[in-house]
Copies of this chain bind each other. A is one copy, B any other.
Amino acid sequence: MADRTSHRAAPVHSHPDEVSILTALTALADPVRIQLVRELAGSAEWTRACGSFDVPVGKAALSHHFGVLRAAGLVEQRDEGPKRVNRLRREEFDARFPGLLDLVLREDAC
């Protein structure tokens, strides 16, 4: 088999098209994940590593939350050296669930 640059297991992704509305709503019905999505929306793509978010949880819980966001088709991840950088799947997710992401991003309060 072909050798790759990284020997690390690639993160498992779901495309928004294969995601149910229930999964999408469940993923967004959490204050920590809402904050992650919002911060991600305010940054350029592929610029934020997982550990760079200002959330009041340890890194184990943080890793779990990113797993949920990936499974819901909300976030895409790529390994860049020792870091894992993120990208919000705005267009794809909006095509599948029009307006949902806008709603979460538009709100000020929680």
A residues in contact (CB < 8 Å) with B: 20-22, 25-26, 28-29, 31, 34, 97-100, 102-104, 107, 109-110
Contacts and interface: CB of A to CB of B under 8 A. Distances in A.
Contacts of A102: 99
6 nearest interchain CB pairs? Answer: A99-B99, A25-B29, A29-B29, A26-B29, A21-B107, A25-B28
Number of copies: 2
Contacts of A34: 21-22
B103 A99 contact: yes
A28 B21 CA distance: 10
Contact of A103 (B98, B104, B107, B109): B98
Contact of A99 (B20, B21, B25, B100): B100
A109 B19 CA distance: 10
A21 B28 CA distance: 10
Most buried by B among A21, A99, A109, A110: A21
